[in-house]
Amino acid sequence: MPSKSKDTVLDAELLELCRTVCEDVKKVVSSLKGTVEADDFMFVGADGTDTKRIDAAAEDAMIERFRKYAKSAGKSIRIISEEYGETILGNPSEVEFAVIVDPLDGTTNAVKDIPFYSLSIAFSKPDLTGIYFGYVCNLANGGEFYAEAGKGAYMAMADGAGVISDGISIKPSTASSIRDLTISAYGYRQNTDRTTKLCSRVQKVRVLGSIALELCYAASGKIDAFIDVRRALRLVDIAAGQLIVREAGGIVTDGTGSSLFLPDNHIKPVNLVASNGIVHPEILNLISFPEIECRGDWYYYKGGVKKIAIVSRCDSEPAREMIREIVDAFKDRVEIYLSSSPAKYLDMEERDIAVSKMKEAGIDFVISLGGDGTILRNMSKMNDPIPILGVNMGTLGFLADVEPKDAIRAIESALSGFMYDERPRLELSVNGKFVGNAINEVVATSAYPAKMMTYEIFVNRRLLGEIRADGIVFATPTGSTAYAMSAGGPIVTPEVDSILIVPIAPFKLSSRPWIVPFDSEITVHSKLPKKEIVIVTDGKVVTQPGVETERPEDYLKVSENDVVTIKRARYPGRFVKFSDACFYDTVRNKLS
């Protein structure tokens, strides 16, 4: 380790531990930064994003250092990290504290050798509440920021020889006028309007690509505010940085100005606004959007629509005619694409685009002509779904917000801006390998019709029970009005962040539906030897990798030695909304 000058000591042991971890991580990152190998895909991380070789190397170095510390100190530690999720070092029943770590915040910068990437470490109670120490180190230049609850925030820089200076107390800026601010602001393309107005008023905008470091820059007055309204920040991204901002004297809230409640897991996303406090109310005012009664999680996509796409059932002449009508009405105003089947069927191959490529092509929203099945099939092909405007040309159309007679008017309106609703999805994996996402439900059922199976179900590694039944439905609130309801499950409003576990024709009267928090990790095992189950996502049977047909011999069979895992997906489904009817109105109108 490099030598250091005397530090402003808070918790000297934790600070020294953080620096030791930092040195280990820095060594492996330095050997990979800027190389082709650094960007190699390794696996899908616990947070649902791609883990690159440089990420995995940094995570391994971090865990190994904490493993050595736990062994030498005789302590049991719970580690929450971006790539591996949860790791317990020592005895799970004797965990003394938790460590929330992002070993490499700013992967793209590191891969491209842009010197702005960091290590972020926070210490908390075992249940992830009560964060009491935070540490962030710029891995490119050795500069560091740290804070302890109730004892202030500090910054220390490394000189050319690697000597770390004395820690000096930091404070946010004193800027009081919006037009004088330098800020960092993030917003997804679907809701950039929440940051566009703000960015047009401030003096300068800097988007640097390492959340933890940018929060520290806000804490130390290098920038005046940090805003991220992508609803994409995870606990590992912000745990240390938010404490450093608060201890420096700044303010941290969610995107509406409410107190920021940190999620108690590594998956659930949040919005965050951090500032010096003086300009906070005005920032919130500029990024606010109209509230809609009974709206759930609605967002505003303002204008700038240049490209739209159409997905459609092809077995309906009214649907085919609607495609022609939409193309004729709007072809001179926006670029219009069709998914492969309708493009081929209607002899419009020049407009053909695969659904999986629509996001990459910059499609602003997708028009779905059909019923709920059309929406479900096409959304399942999108990793990060584009907002879908559903035109109900099917039977029930619970997810479709527009009737055919109103379609042209609705599209006309959407070209000038639209509201869209975000609904959480489920991510399915088998033996740790990603299989797919579902907006309605994941169903485990016997591979052989009408055969009862025994399912062993764990929630966050705790046994919920063994259920003997024809199958089990794992549903989102969106899917609570579908298969889960038919199987006897309750109807759940979208605002209730939960997963339903509903047995299908259970053998025992005591096998009742369960509702568990959406951020739970659910694992399922088949308990009967030599009997297999199949998995169905949103009505489609999961098949072997690379197989598109749904013949029984192509089904992915799950046996007693396999593990099925269900958890919150990284990206939600998105639905364009025009009706201001709340969920209760929709249920009453559609299901009465």
Task: Give the CATH number of the domain where residue 151 resides.
Answer: 3.30.540.10
Give residue 526's Cα distance to chain centre: 29
Angle at which helices 280-287 and 193-201 cross, to 10° = 130
Residue 405: how many other CB atoms lie within 10 Å: 8
173 is a domain residue: no
389 and 318 housed in the same domain: yes
What's the CA gap between 504 and 513, in Å, rounded? 10
281 and 315 housed in the same domain: no
200 is a domain residue: yes
Please enumerate in sequence order all residues whose Cβ is within 8 A of that of 118, keeping only pairs 6 or more positions apart, or say none.
102, 104, 105, 106, 136, 137, 138, 139, 210, 212, 213
Which among 251, 272, 293 is the end of a domain? 293
582 and 505 housed in the same domain: no
What's the CA gap between 486 and 504, in Å, rounded? 9
What's the CA gap between 421 and 365, in Å, rounded? 13
405 and 453 housed in the same domain: no
Please report, as a single letter, which amino acid is at residue 217: Y
Contact 421, 395 (CB under 8 A): no
What's the CA gap between 501 and 492, in Å, rounded? 12
322 and 190 housed in the same domain: no
What's the CA gap between 350 and 337, in Å, rounded? 8
3-state secondary structure of 200: helix
pLDDT given for residue 292 in this prediction:
37
154 and 199 housed in the same domain: no
| The dihedral sign for the CA sequence 392, 396, 397, 401 | positive
Query: Which of 70, 167, 77, 88 has its CA nearest to residue 124?
Result: 77
DSSP string, 361-406: TT--EEEEEESHHHHHHHHTT-SSPPPEEEEE-SS--SS--B-GGG
542 is a domain residue: yes
For 395, the token pair is 């039977």
211 and 154 housed in the same domain: no
Can you say whether residue 85 is alpha, beta or left, with left for phi > 0 and alpha for psi between -120 and 50 degrees?
left
pLDDT given for residue 270 in this prediction:
83
Q: Which positions are annotated as active-site residues?
A: 372
Query: Which of 400, 438, 389, 387 has its CA nearest to residue 189?
Result: 387
Q: Which residues of 49-80 are buried (b: 16+ CB within 10 A; e: fewer)?
A: bebbbbbbbbbbbbbebbeebbeeeebbbbbb
How much of the chain, in percent, has pLDDT values that exceed 70? 92
485 is a domain residue: yes
In this prediction, the residues of the chain whose per-residue pLDDT falls under 50 are 1-9, 189-190, 290-296
3-state secondary structure of 487: coil
38 is a domain residue: yes
Query: Which of 87, 76, 28 has its CA nearest to residue 53?
Result: 28
Number of independent structural domains in the chain: 4
Q: What is the domain-level CATH number for residue 479? A: 2.60.200.30
144 and 198 housed in the same domain: no
* Domain span holding position 189: 178-293
Which among 144, 168, 192 is the end of a domain? 168
504 and 440 housed in the same domain: yes
4 is a domain residue: no
18 and 154 housed in the same domain: yes
Q: What is the dihedral of CA 308, 313, 315, 320, to 10 degrees?
A: -20
458 and 585 housed in the same domain: no
Point out which residues pair with 61 in neighbouring strands: none
5 is a domain residue: no
In the chain, helix, strand, coil percent, each to 5? 30, 30, 40
Query: Which of 254, 259, 311 has its CA nearest to residue 284?
Result: 254
Q: What is the domain-level CATH number for residue 199? A: 3.40.190.80
Phi, psi of 300 (to 5 degrees): -110, 130
437 is a domain residue: yes
164 and 215 housed in the same domain: no
Which among 168, 200, 215 is the end of a domain? 168
